[in-house]
Structure 1
Amino acid sequence: MTLYRQLLIFTVILFVALFAGIWVEKLHSTRSFLVTQLESHAQDTATSLGLSLSPVMVDNDIATVDTMINAVFDRGYYRVISFKDMEGEVITERILKVEIAGVPDWFVNLVPIKSPNAESLVMAGWNQAGKLYVESHPGFAYQTMWEAMVRISIYFLLSVSTVLLLGGLGLRMLLKPLKQVELQAEAICRREYHIQDKLPKTRELRQVVNSMNRMTNQVREMFASQSKIAENLRRKAYSDQVTGLGNRRYLSAQVEARLEAAQGVARGALLIVQLENLKKINDFDGFAAGDTLLKKVADILKQETQVIDDVALARLTGGDFGIFISAIDPADVNSVAESISRNIRKLAIEVDSQVENIAHVGGVTYDYVPTLSKLLSEADNALQGARRKGANQWLVAELSSQEDQTVKGKIWWKETLEDVLAKDDIFLYGQPVVSSADHSRVLHQELLSRIAMQSGEIVSAGVFVPLAERLQLVSKLDMVVLAKVFEQKEKMATLKSIAVNISPSSLGDSLFVKWILAQLQRLPGNAPHIIFEFSEYGAVQYIDLVKDFSREVQGLGHGIGLDHFGQSFANFGYLKSLRPEYVKIDRAFTKELESDQGDSEFFIGALCGVAHSLDIRVIAEGVERDDQVAMLLELNIDALQGYLFGQPQQV
């Protein structure tokens, strides 16, 4: 708590204590005065009224007595006026119930007042006619005390407010030098050195300011010399000269230091951003253009991670960037990776050499303390997965604490995949694609492949398919997956339509294509309609192979579909020649509908117009919330897919 607040609070406490004493004393004195007044009032009334009744009682005129008592009682200052004979029998009596208007009950209970009373004899000549009893009403006393206490409380509040206002301003002026000292100290922490020229008049404060000024000068000289040496060494050892980010050595040091400090309990992520065509840009546009692109990417990384507390950014080599984040939730890592990928993709329009594929983002999250080599290896695998998904794509994998701690390299993955292929250890999972008009109507089931590791863990296709492509095992893998599909005759008979993902590069294997066509020809009449789904980026890369394959399968009553549509910058024109049954909008565009920029909405609307003119359905993937559904329906989407309508289930 600041000194200013402490002084204000202390002042308030003093005022409250003073007010409490004055309030209690004022209440006590007022109560005593009013009680004395009531006693005097009751006695005077009893005496005077008794004398007035004596002549009337000579004639025993009770009616007149009653009239005289009523006249006095109706003034409202009495609770009881009672006239009794000498034997105690009531001749006439008036009683008023005690009701105190305008005074809170707590105040009445706090200050009890016993109603004063008085008696007098009433004579009838020389004989005693009776006794007159008068008791005052306490309401007037309570009302008078309450009004007095309210007034004094109001005066006190006004006084306190005035003192606090003026005293607060005065304290601020007196303590202003201390505030300047605080700002001076904070400035030193920021390597800013301010000198207070205006010295306070108070001797003690002036000495503090002078000492602070001397220390500031000494620290400034010390930091000036040491900072110059340290910055030069750091720039040479840990900084990238082009982007201003850290270099590989810097990132390695940061990662290892944080992992070592975790001591067995950790959570974080490592992302790798890889520019795909930096050499081409350097060759066609010059190294200055390449450096400009690197700087823009670095700026994007800084912007997207500026709100993260613990992050290390580095340019690893060439067009590779590394991002290490400590203590971050996996869901947030996905959000960061997607945002980086989306912003880097926008740089394509600024490159003179018309490069479409700018960069891929791959990353890995962890919930235990791995080694740096393992993080880099798994992040590189994820990077390959992002490359397979298409141009300018991202992928973040999870590194579970249950996994083997040894690094799984190409040899390990090759042996594992070959073992999986030999044993057919592949499982199929299905996820529905529903009609946008009727969410209960399933248009088709998309079949997704999974493999079982030796540890029993189920691994999704996004992990092992990129590795299979790099290891030239993808066509064999696709063949095993399709064989699993064709074997599901009983389950297939209950489905009208299914979609199966295969790699476009597999179509380069003529034996694989012939095998598929042969299997399709042998399918029974009740077999479902099969849609072979390709990623848009891969389909564009192998457009001629996909066209030939599409003609063949369409001739057999089946078709093809395009997944992750929008990843490539290819024109919509190729849809006319390819004629897929549907195009599935990439989930990045679905998510971008949340913003008000309108780019995603325009893209989806334009795509729907072109696709519908060619009788091609449009599917939105990654739908997870009702508000996304509402926006997509307005854009004339035909079908929806996502966790909102069902998670993948084993078939």
Structure 2
Amino acid sequence: MTLFRQIYTLLFVLFLLVVTSLSYVQFTETQSFLTKQMESDLNNTSHSLGIMLVPDLEAGDIVGAETLINVIFEGGYYQEVKLTWLVDGKQQVWQNPITIDGVPQWFIDLDLFKTIKRESIITSGWIQLARLEIVAHPGFGYHELWRTMTNATIVFSILFLIAIISARIGLTWILRPLHNIAEHAKDIANRKFGPDLTLPRTAELKSVVQAFNSMSDQLKQIFSSLDEEVGELRKKNLIDQVSGLPNRQYMMGQLNSWLSEPKSGALMMAKFNWLEEVHSKYGYQVRDETIRLLSEKMKQHLDGVTPSVIARIAAYEFAFLIDSSEHEQTSKYLQTLIRTINQEVSKAGCKPNEDFAIGIAERIGQMSVTDILAQSDNALQKALQDNQVFHWFETNEKQLFTREQWRDHLNSAISDGQFKFKWQPVLLNETESVLQRELYCQLEINQKMVQAGQFMPYVELLSLGTQLDKSLIEAVHSKKLLEKNFEPIAINLTFQSMGDIEFHQWLNKFLRASPLSSRICFDIPEAAIYSNPEACEALCTIIRDNGAHFGIDHFGRQFGSMSYLQDLRPRYVKLDQSFAYYDESEHSSELCRALINVAKGLDIEVIVTGIEEEEQLERFIPLKTNAYMGYISPPIAID
């Protein structure tokens, strides 16, 4: 029971006790007063009637005596009058029935008034003439007692209602700070640190609110310090201090992560020998400033073409990872890069289109990090050897289908539900039991199995992400995949679905209609949260309100604050695969530990991804992660 209900019940009982006590006192006092009043009236009547009857009794006038008694008896205050003549023993009786108008019979049956009777001997001198017996009628007492108690009950009831309503309103107002404290405590338990509570006027509550505000500020500061620590460790371990760009270690992790996902794109390797000339002419300080300015211009101009990762991997070498683009868009990116470089070359007093070279290698089919690095480096060496500005690595591998063919195949697969499924278990560290199963899809085209890595780039390029997500979610329901195992199923959502309001509405209706929505998890890419936080928050609210769950995929890949975790409150995060490929240095472990501590500090489960060998897994066990997944436990075909 809440404190409000306890206090309210206590006040209710106390007030009811007071009202009952007052009613009892009022009842007994009124009853006693009416009894005494009837006794007094009976005494007076008995005495006065005895005196008035003496002349008639002395004369033996029976009619006169009856007339006198009738006058008094007809007033209705007496139940019975009995006159006994002592001379001859003749007896006369007058009686009134006990019927009282306006008083319920059950009240009369309570027998609240005892019989009040007075007996007197009427004398004349020493001669006894008659015996007079008068019994008071209780009707007056019952009538007055009923009227008094009815009025008192009405008054007490009105006062009782007023008091109860006033107590409720007053308690609500008085205990409002406690209600705010309770809500604030729930927010703190959910790791949500809002603004400080307003201090109440009540001294005791004021100290409690101050304590809560202080605790909330300290917890907020702890989370902020962890977030800042992550930022500092990223700058220290993954950022080149001169250019402000990611370093080689970060680029290698992103390459591994990129190639493990179903995406398209290209890798460019560039060598800027003209920076060595700047160094020889003006010294290292001017060279470093030139590198910094060049890096800013490249980020400024290239981000407008397509998202990419730009890294400084050596003194005069840079790498450009375009993680989702076609040949035409890559060409546009290349032209923008060359134009930006020439502008900075001219400012440095060097000749444009000289002393720098770029090698480009596109991702085609299944490739490893070694393959893409070798192809881009071969293209770079070829450009340097031929004294060209750039060279595009040529491959004999042909695309499986043209864009239009992909459009036809994908539209047909989505509309007809032709996808086949696998799922990969996410295993708990301690028990190795299954925490959830991540769903993968593949497609059979012309009797050939096509993996997601081959068709997903075209899903993004052709803007079919929302339709694909709907098809896969409906397939989970139609194929009864949730009933095959008790573990939740994790479904990866595409970028397009994140900002699609129509998809949000559709998903809301689907989850409401699903009896097993609590066993569905949705993986939301971290990049989508940074690019469109409002849409992602709206989608997460829909998922949470319908009993489903969601997590953050590629956690830690983006350079930015982790404060979004407080707003979204995901159930889990999946650490980006790049962390599984970082070296085993102390700095890398510190960065992983800091990222994990940020999530675990908000009571969020941490899942490590990209685990292929036991040695990789052993590196993460001391970091207190919850679960892991990867090809150490490969995907399993669903029957």
TM-score range, shorter chain: 0.3 to 0.5
TM-score, normalising length from structure 2? Answer: 0.42
Bigger RCO (CA 8 Å, 6+ sep):
2
TM-score, normalising length from structure 1? Answer: 0.41
